[in-house]
């Protein structure tokens, strides 16, 4: 385990100063402008692409990094990536902690840590490119840990969950599962989540609510792109492409509600996030990282071969089609369709195998319970 962490940190130390992607330029410009007192939602800096389309949590995290860069001369490429590297490490430790709770062997814990911390897609996305998906995942895993330790507690889980949403909004996809499995406490948790989100966004919600909402919904009208199989619709009217994406988003909501019937949170989280990859009209390589920690927990904790295969599929896809390396093109139709079919088949296998295992476990528990009851009855008769 120690060797995995050392190799991962050394690799990141090499990758961090090399370069950064266009998204990282947005964090740079937005944090500089914020330090100058500019509302970056109402008055965009000179972005080369789109705006900063998230709640401002990560922007707040980058402010001290930007201040240090401006006052010490150390490159923001280095300082601005430090929170991302820290989040990579924290996410890995939290996954290992969950596997310890599940009594997974030390060897398998080390393998799981390597699959996440040394994953080439994770290294590319964070240390090299400078995206902060791992910050969101670390916060979501903290919420996951709080829930696994005490399912009745609301405060710690709700705060971590809200902060995860404030980093990137995809953790909201788990709301159907939370609503089904925490009916008595869901109202309190939703109030806490809403309160935390309001506090995080208050400076912009109060001063420029329309501009803030517009930036958050920046991708709503985008055409299919990236690794989405919906790129097959290119050439059709834009309205049809957007409308199809909206319909499939509705299908995803139904799918998330169906997946909520699963009892295990890690399995439900992995399945929900993979389902989003299948039904979203936009699938950038960074999206492929979202289910990884939960797939690793399912793969190592539940010995799911399908989960390991899904990890391999999304990692390979992200390394073959990304902003810096795309030998088949940036939106390869054939590859996207093959990826979607492979992921859909593997996801179905994972869910069905886990359902079968659960059914066998319940069926096996019934005779044991009956035998125990009979034993008690005989003992009482004596």
Q: Are strands 225-226 and 282-283 parallel, antiparallel or unpaired?
A: parallel
3-state secondary structure of 327: coil
CA 304/CA 353 separation, integer angstroms: 8
pLDDT tens, position by position, 254-263: 999 999 999 9
Give the predicted TM-score (pTM) of the model.
Answer: 0.92
pLDDT tens, position by position, 119-168: 999 999 999 999 999 999 999 999 999 999 887 667 889 999 999 999 99
The pLDDT value recorded for residue 131 is 97
Could you tell me which of 173, 186, 169 has the C-alpha nearest to residue 255?
A: 173
Question: What mean pLDDT is predicted for residues 311-329?
Answer: 92
State which H helix or E strand residue 53 sits in: none
Phi, psi of 226 (to 5 degrees): 70, -130
Q: Name the least confident of 23-32, 68-77, 107-116, 148-157.
A: 148-157
Q: Name the least confident of 69-73, 281-285, 324-328, 358-362.
A: 358-362
Q: Is the pLDDT of residue 380 over 80?
A: no
Could you tell me which of 305, 296, 302, 339 has the C-alpha nearest to residue 320?
A: 339
Q: Is the pLDDT of residue 324 over 90?
A: no
CA 253/CA 78 separation, integer angstroms: 39
Q: Is the pLDDT of residue 212 over 60?
A: yes
The pLDDT value recorded for residue 370 is 46
Mean residue pLDDT of the chain comes to 92
Q: Name the least confident of 247-256, 264-273, 335-344, 348-357.
A: 348-357
Q: Name the least confident of 172-186, 198-212, 273-287, 332-346.
A: 172-186
3-state secondary structure of 183: coil
């Amino acid at each position: 385990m120690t060797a995995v962490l050392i190799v991962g940190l050394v690799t990141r130390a090499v990758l961090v100063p090399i370069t950064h992607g266009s998204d990282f330029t947005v964090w740079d410009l937005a944090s500089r402008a914020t330090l100058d007192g500019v509302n970056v939602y109402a008055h965009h800096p000179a972005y080369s692409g789109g705006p900063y389309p998230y709640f401002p949590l990560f922007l707040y995290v980058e402010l001290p990094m930007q201040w240090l860069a401006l006052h010490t001369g150390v490159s923001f490429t280095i300082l601005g990536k430090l929170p991302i590297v820290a989040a990579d490490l924290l996410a890995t430790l939290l996954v290992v902690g969950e596997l310890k709770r599940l009594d997974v062997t030390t060897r398998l814990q080390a393998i799981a840590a390597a699959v996440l911390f040394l994953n080439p897609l994770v290294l590319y996305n964070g240390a090299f490119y400078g995206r902060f998906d791992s910050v969101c995942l670390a916060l979501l895993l903290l919420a996951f840990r709080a829930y696994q330790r005490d399912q009745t507690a609301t405060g710690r889980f709700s705060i971590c969950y809200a902060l995860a949403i404030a980093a990137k909004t995809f953790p909201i996809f788990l709301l159907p599962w939370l609503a089904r499995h925490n009916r008595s406490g869901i109202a309190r948790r939703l109030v806490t989540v809403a309160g935390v989100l309001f506090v995080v966004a208050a400076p912009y919600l109060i001063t420029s609510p329309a501009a803030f909402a517009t930036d958050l919904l920046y991708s709503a009208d985008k055409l299919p792109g990236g690794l989405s199989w919906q790129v097959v619709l290119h050439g059709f009217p834009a309205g049809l492409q957007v409308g199809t994406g909206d319909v499939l988003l509705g299908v995803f909501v139904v799918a998330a509600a169906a997946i909520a019937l699963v009892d295990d949170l890690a399995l439900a989280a992995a399945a929900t996030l993979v389902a989003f990859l299948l039904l979203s009209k936009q699938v950038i390589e960074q999206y492929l990282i979202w289910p990884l920690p939960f797939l690793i927990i399912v793969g190592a904790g539940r010995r799911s071969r399908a989960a390991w295969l899904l990890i391999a599929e999304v990692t390979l896809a992200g390394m073959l089609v990304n902003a810096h390396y795309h030998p088949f093109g940036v939106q390869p139709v054939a590859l996207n369709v093959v990826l979607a079919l492979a992921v859909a088949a593997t996801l179905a296998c994972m869910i069905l195998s886990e359902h079968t295992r659960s059914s066998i476990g319940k069926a096996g528990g019934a005779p044991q319970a009956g035998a125990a009851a009979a034993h008690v009855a005989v003992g009482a008769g004596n």
